[in-house]
Structure 1
């Protein structure tokens, strides 16, 4: 039976699954009980070390370390195959409670990285504190990307500070926004067929959209999703000095291809590199390097406030 750890107060109820990568599987508004996260496309089931992310439930809030896309990494004289979405979404975490916090920890199998996630609720805010430690014998490369899939309805809107003027395409399903590297103005642009597109506007599951985009992290340190029906704004706050880039995953029925159940969500993804591949980040000099016995600590906060 799946272990479910609960944090709750008068405003929010959060559920964490230690067995499944310390995934936040549910984040509900109280007292309404409205779910804010993409729910499972498939039933929760054990993950292997090689399976693709789309073979799992593809839901909730996960973390991608040391890569997002699968790749072979040349580092320290070795060629390391790193699996899709990294190690940590697919392995169980040890868990404990400390006062009002949940603390979960695991060590990766691709690279000897020890990863800790600490969850706490403060009013209408979920705070997640991270610690990543090198427990190996050589310096280690990695990239990190948050992967919170927020449920959406048509007409919901992605909000970015005015400092964000343009985004870059990493992947666009069916070539909707052109080839990788294509630059678009934010939020109004044209697609590959020269049709006007408002990238900030959530579409419906019938649209078949699956786009991964990157921007330089806004100096204001936030990105938000406005849920119109709920009259709520879900704001992800982060330190742009650490998470120097921002990923946007727009999934309006376009992923996973070939499956009956597809995502209808937006992922707001503070990240350390404008690339899903650790190999690409290394080639571009954008991977983070963690020295032996060293660690990094950072956090994100998810606020739910009136729109």
Structure 2
């Protein structure tokens, strides 16, 4: 791990995380109750830039994506500038603005998007709270997609429960064949709770669901966690990455990405067309608070 990493210990000795200011304020390691939750991936030797491909950076860390997840051209009519792969924040060097006993606050200017982004990462008892604030510096309102983008590890008997009976494929998905049967790929259990033994599934697409009341429950190694978006707006979605083509179909996943998302697709263009994009007013701001809490198994 590089020297620029900030290590944050929680109130309990089994809880800790590591944050990289030079790589988008990414949470690179996250240990809860002694279990490492992040997929290690690998860090590239070269520095990041607007031209960096998110896939080529090693698929590691928990970052924020804004104002789009997929690359966008300025000609789409929704933006005054092109947006790089996975947005304008994850590849930048952030500045540390505050340190506390159990947390860190960071900030970055993204002049191409006309915003200032702040990120607070802090332990509170057995929970990790990640707060993102995007503030407009523009004279014009701005449509946006905002996603909290963790890459959690698969292993140790991972299970995921999402209490939701409404699923839809992202219209901008890279799925190459006919639209598959979701109930066959991800069958609902009792009371329509979708219990996903991720290790046994390998797809090549992404689904979006309305954010489940009660959050996302998952477990590994005999422990369980609640992953929730506590200040979510109306129309909040969960983007669930099932492979997206980075891993050949038929092979088990080594990580999974549950993404609290303002928007209904990776593409800002699609979200604007569907009427699901957020709108950042001139001089205004938007907040996203995501909490990962240890729970009884």
**TM-score normalised per structure 2:** 0.85
| Alignment correspondent of 2:257 | 267
Which structure features the higher share of strand residues?
Answer: 1
Report the 3-state secondary structure (helix = DSSP H, G, I; strand = E; otherwise coil) of the residue aligned with 2:219: strand
Per mean C-alpha deviation after superposition, the further-off stretch among 291-300 and 12-21 is 291-300
In 2, are the aligned partners of 1:154 and 1:202 still within 8 Å (CA)? no
**TM-score normalised per structure 1:** 0.82
| 2: CA distance, partners of 1:14 / 1:199 | 28
Q: Confirm whether residue 188 of structure 1 aligns to residue 190 of structure 2.
A: no
Pair 1:211–1:155, CA change in 2 (3 A)? farther
| 2: CA distance, partners of 1:103 / 1:174 | 41
Report the 3-state secondary structure (helix = DSSP H, G, I; strand = E; otherwise coil) of the residue aligned with 1:166: coil
| 2: CA distance, partners of 1:75 / 1:137 | 20
| 2: CA distance, partners of 1:55 / 1:263 | 17
| 2: CA distance, partners of 1:154 / 1:255 | 22
Q: Confirm whether residue 247 of structure 1 aligns to residue 239 of structure 2.
A: yes
| Alignment correspondent of 1:146 | 148
| Alignment correspondent of 1:63 | 64
| 2: CA distance, partners of 1:186 / 1:166 | 14
| Alignment correspondent of 1:194 | none
In 2, are the aligned partners of 1:2 and 1:19 still within 8 Å (CA)? no
Pair 1:283–1:174, CA change in 2 (3 A)? closer
Decide which of 137, 141, 162 is 2:139's aligned counterpart.
Answer: 137
| Alignment correspondent of 1:127 | 129
| Alignment correspondent of 1:27 | 30
In 2, are the aligned partners of 1:139 and 1:292 still within 8 Å (CA)? yes
1:296 Cα deviation after fit: 1.6
| 1: CA distance, partners of 2:248 / 2:45 | 20
| 2: CA distance, partners of 1:210 / 1:126 | 30
| 2: CA distance, partners of 1:226 / 1:210 | 23
Residues paired across the two proteins, number: 284
Q: In angstroms, what is the RMSD of aligned CA positions?
A: 2.9
Per mean C-alpha deviation after superposition, the further-off stretch among 45-54 and 67-76 is 67-76
Report the 3-state secondary structure (helix = DSSP H, G, I; strand = E; otherwise coil) of the residue aligned with 1:102: strand
Report the 3-state secondary structure (helix = DSSP H, G, I; strand = E; otherwise coil) of the residue aligned with 1:97: strand
1:122 Cα deviation after fit: 1.2
| 1: CA distance, partners of 2:51 / 2:195 | 33
| Structure 1, gaps ≥5 residues long | 190-197
Deviations, residues 29-72 of structure 1 (Å, cap 9, x unaligned): 35x4x311011234353112122211112112111111111122
| 2: CA distance, partners of 1:39 / 1:213 | 24
Report the 3-state secondary structure (helix = DSSP H, G, I; strand = E; otherwise coil) of the residue aligned with 1:203: helix
| 1: CA distance, partners of 2:253 / 2:197 | 16
| 2: CA distance, partners of 1:301 / 1:44 | 31
Report the 3-state secondary structure (helix = DSSP H, G, I; strand = E; otherwise coil) of the residue aligned with 1:299: strand
| 2: CA distance, partners of 1:208 / 1:202 | 8
Pair 1:147–1:41, CA change in 2 (3 A)? same
| Alignment correspondent of 1:223 | 216
1:76 Cα deviation after fit: 7.0
Deviations, residues 205-241 of structure 1 (Å, cap 9, x unaligned): xx75343111111233x112221xx111232111343
Decide which of 200, 205, 214 is 2:196's aligned counterpart.
Answer: 200
1:199 Cα deviation after fit: 6.8
| Alignment correspondent of 2:115 | 113
| Alignment correspondent of 2:208 | 214
In 2, are the aligned partners of 1:113 and 1:135 still within 8 Å (CA)? yes
| Alignment correspondent of 1:282 | 272
| Alignment correspondent of 2:191 | none
